[in-house]
Chains A and B, each alone.
Chain A
Amino acid sequence: MILYLQLFYEFFKTGLFTVGGGMATIPFLYQMSDATGWFTHTDLANMIAVSESTPGPIGVNMASYVGFITGMKHNGTPGAVSGAIIATLGLVTPSIIVILIIAMFLRNFRNNKYVNNAFYGLRPASAGLIAAAGITVVMATLFFQDTLAEGFSPAAINWQGWVLAIILWILTNKVKFTKKLHPIVFIAGSAVIGILFSMSA
């Protein structure tokens, strides 16, 4: 019971302070992982990939997924389903409250000077938070943590991972025929490469 209240609270906070969409919830989920230990950074990276590859807004998918995994560790399948529902409701509750207030009382919200000025600061901060989360994912994925703990050496670098990352970056940014493709194509391709080259580490 306490766990579900905590889950609701954590996602309520995420919903209330997330600005922008898509990846913007991810920094909050890394913080949640550190603060609660409900799931690992590796779990989180896997969940990002699944959330990108399934229908629905990424932020909502992430909440459902985190709630599911956390609930399952606590109380098996019934716990998992309750966890998914509670986390998702926690995420959307602030939206419902804020939007209803704006829709009823603040029709000029968008033209408010202070709101616009706050966003002048919030946009770069949101980009910065996601960049920091990205650095965490890169450190966990493209370097071997166990080896890195003994000091930096070429053995700590996941060379296979770097080669794949550079190829993916070129395909998603530079190649005319592939850069418009949906991320799911690259995720599926990376899964195949991962299997062929045994990239589990």
Chain B
Amino acid sequence: MKLLLDLFLTFARIGVMTFGGGYAMLPILQREVVETKKWATEEELMDYFAIGQCTPGIIAVNTATFVGQKKKGVSGGIIATLGIVFPSLVIISLLAGVIESFSHVVWVQNAFGGIRVCVCVLILNAVVKLFKKAIVDKFTLVIFAVVTLGSCLTNLSPVIFVLLAAAAGIILKALGGKEQ
């Protein structure tokens, strides 16, 4: 029971300290999980993080589930996950309520008008970063182009593209796709 509470609080603290998620949280995880709590070794954490990237879902959440499972089985995995999402739930609920109640104010609308421009640039930067990592040969370039166009021009669910791309990856690799 004490360990479960500790898992919840530690991952809640990691959630509060993570801005942006993904790779940004790695140094914080190392400090809390490896150095302070000694719940996993450096190598184990890197393994969990790597598996978290190649399993469905949010990397931060996957890594939390993994560490929790290691310490306290199924209940540990669930509690650690609830811990990492708890701060998001509280902070977003408080903030979303405030933003909604001011959303009709002209200067708030103007501020978000500027902010949305920034979001365009942030998404562009994220795509460029992913593109450099993911496009390693002509096969991967074709997949990128087909998915981008297909997703823009049709109403197909991203689920379809994800399933087809996974199948394409397995087939194309067999046909001689580049090693990564």
Contacts and interface: CB of A to CB of B under 8 A. Distances in A.
A17 B162 contact: yes
A184 interface: yes
Given A88-B88, A117-B169, A201-B113, A135 B152 contact: yes
Contacts of B115: 45-46, 49, 187, 190-191, 194
B100 interface: yes
Given A52-B20, A99-B62, A191-B111, A165 B146 contact: no
Interface stretch (A1-9, A22-30, A146-154): A22-30
Nearest to B118: A190
Given A18-B58, A19-B162, A56-B88, A128 B19 contact: no
Given A46-B112, A126-B130, A199-B117, A95 B69 contact: no
A164 B118 CA distance: 8
Nearest to B169: A121
Nearest to B129: A127
A92 B47 CA distance: 20
Contacts of A80: 93, 96-97
A18 to B, nearest CB: 6
Contact of B77 (A103, A129, A141, A197): A103
B120 A137 contact: yes
A127 B114 contact: no
B139 to A, nearest CB: 8
A139 B153 CA distance: 13
Contacts of A37: none
Interface string B146-172: 111001100101110111111111101
B143 interface: yes
Contacts of B5: none
A186 B164 CA distance: 36
Contact of B173 (A26, A95, A120): A120
Contact of B16 (A21, A55, A85): A55
Nearest to B21: A57
Interface string A161-191: 1001100110011000000001110110111
Contact of A56 (B21, B65, B100, B166): B21
| Residue from A54, A115, A187, A189 having most chain B Cβ neighbours under 10 A | A54
Interface residues of A, number: 108
B116 to A, nearest CB: 4
Nearest to A55: B16
Contact of B134 (A123, A165, A184): A123
A92 B61 contact: yes
B27 interface: no
B127 interface: yes
**Which of B81, B107, B126 has the most CB atoms of chain A within a 10 A radius of its CB?**
B126
A156 interface: no
B56 A16 contact: yes
A21 B56 CA distance: 9
A165 B121 CA distance: 6
B157 to A, nearest CB: 6
Contacts of B120: 134, 137-138, 141-142, 165
23 contacts: A17-B56, A19-B162, A46-B116, A54-B88, A55-B18, A55-B88, A56-B16, A59-B21, A88-B88, A118-B169, A119-B169, A120-B139, A124-B144, A129-B161, A135-B152, A141-B116, A164-B114, A168-B118, A186-B121, A192-B111, A193-B114, A198-B110, A200-B112
4 nearest CB pairs, A to B: A194-B114, A121-B169, A57-B21, A128-B147
